[in-house]
Amino acid sequence: MNDSVEEFYLAHGSEPTYWLAYSGGLDSHVLLHLFAELKKTHPINLCAVHVNHGLSAYADDWVMHCKNTCEQLNVKFVHYTVNAQASVGESPEEVARESRYAVFSALLAPNDLLLTAHQQDDQAETVLLQLLRGSGPKGLSAMPAIKAFSKGFHARPLLDYTRADLTLYARENQLEWIEDESNLNTHFSRNYLRHKIIPLLKEQWPQLTKTFGRTAEHCAEAQALLNSMAEQDLEFCRGQAVNTLSVEKLLTLPAARLYQLLRLWFKASGLLTPSTAKLQQVQHVLHARHDRTPLLLWKGAEVRRYHDDLYALSSLSPHDVNEILVWDDLTSPLTIAGIGTLSTAQQHHGLRKDLANITVRFRQGGETCHLPNRGDCHHSLKKLFQTWNVPHWERDRIPLIFCGDTLISAVGYFVDDHCLAGENEAGYCIKLILNG
């Protein structure tokens, strides 16, 4: 193991900070000890990170144990306390994991490395869990030895070693570690597999952990090929609007390629990948008539269609379309609940400064306006939005600027030229910063 850790260090060098996730348990203590030994002969910037989830009566004792161990090994130590209490319907394991990795993510600078002590038995458990969940190649790829994470990378230097290997190392080096009582709770799926199922499987297939490791590698290779094909399909299916896909082009793809493309697209859009059942419902959106307004929702995300363009969006916050906001001082930002914040910057030939009785409203229907360089003709706002290909769900969320009862601007689209400052006069340019 010492040789593997040294090879890992030589491959990544001394420039990044190595943030070692240290729970105090057997596996992370072995990883800490290995890197502490490496630190004696190599200029490594190493820091152990302990996250206190507050879920055990012994949590504070564990913090002190980890702190003292790091002092003995001459390793920098930091610890953080998080609220990892699960709400009704949430997985305690997942909530704790998300809380822990949020801490890790915030710590990493560009090219830094997060080190975790996952080993071969963990990999086997992950493959089996994913198999039981009905996962495809991506899920069965389980845990890679290294992957991009936050601003840097997440590495697992001990993935080729078994739990038995780590136990032997710990005993030979007289290490003292924490035994987390929750690891014996077989109500948790991973613990159930670890203590009840995998020991039985190993009686018949002793090399199970290595075999599952190979399965993960094969699935990772298959997933890489699928991703490559999906990236090509993504380029082919680009829509007219930014970050959209063409419905017409999507319908030329076989279902399997379509779903693979959509998974890649959602991930690139920063959205949670939906379940397979929800993914299949995208077909209803694709096949909807052009005059329909189909909508598909899942946690924190939604898919909408406008003409030939398919949109993937973060869930839109509700807002009151009947709200009228008074904006007497255009130099002060104006917050619109569920939408964002309006602000102004001085700009030549912007909105005149002498305008009074300014309010912000939203489309009710029937609005008309003047457009720059169009004379005194009145134009229907509804028809303008159609001409400008503004998606229907955005139209009621665009702030409309009124002077008295006259519509003088739709933020981001037009300003009535009767309300503009002279060519050499400073006026106001209105900008909208959307929530989230």
Quickly name the fold that domain 237-314 has: Chorismate Mutase Domain, subunit A (1.20.59)
Report the predicted TM-score, pTM, of the whole model to 2 decimal places.
0.74
Tokens of 203: 């009686």
Mean pLDDT calculated for residue range 190-201: 91
Q: What is the pLDDT of residues 53-62, one digit of tens each?
A: 888 888 889 9
CA 325 to chain centre: 34
Mean pLDDT calculated for residue range 265-274: 90
Output the pLDDT for position 254: 94
Q: Where are the alpha helices (DSSP H) in 21-79?
A: 26-39, 59-73
Q: What is the pLDDT of residues 76-132, one digit of tens each?
A: 999 999 887 877 777 778 888 899 999 999 999 999 999 999 999 999 999 999 999
Q: Check whether 177 has a pLDDT greater than 70.
A: yes
The percentage of the chain sitting over the pLDDT mark of 90, rounded to a whole number, equals 64
Tokens of 246: 């063409």
Could you state, in order of their start, the residue ranges of all structural domains in the chain? 2-209, 237-314, 325-434
Residue 364 sits at φ, ψ, to 5 deg, of -115, -15
Mean pLDDT calculated for residue range 138-154: 92
Residue 381 sits at φ, ψ, to 5 deg, of -65, -40
Q: What is the pLDDT of residues 422-433, one digit of tens each?
A: 777 888 889 999
Rounded to the nearest integer, the mean pLDDT of the chain is 90
Output the pLDDT for position 376: 67
Look at 78-87, 148-157, 271-280, 296-305 and tell me which has the smallest mean pLDDT: 78-87
Output the pLDDT for position 19: 97
Could you tell me the CA-to-CA distances from 5 to 1, 29, 157, 382 in Å, in that order? 6, 14, 7, 65
The CA distance from 5 to 117, in Å, is 12
DSSP 247-297: HHHHTTS-HHHHHHHHHHHHHHTT-PPPPHHHHHTHHHHHTS-TT---EEE
Output the pLDDT for position 355: 86
* CATH code at 2-209: 3.40.50.620
Mean pLDDT calculated for residue range 9-33: 94
Output the pLDDT for position 239: 94
Output the pLDDT for position 181: 80
Output the pLDDT for position 245: 96
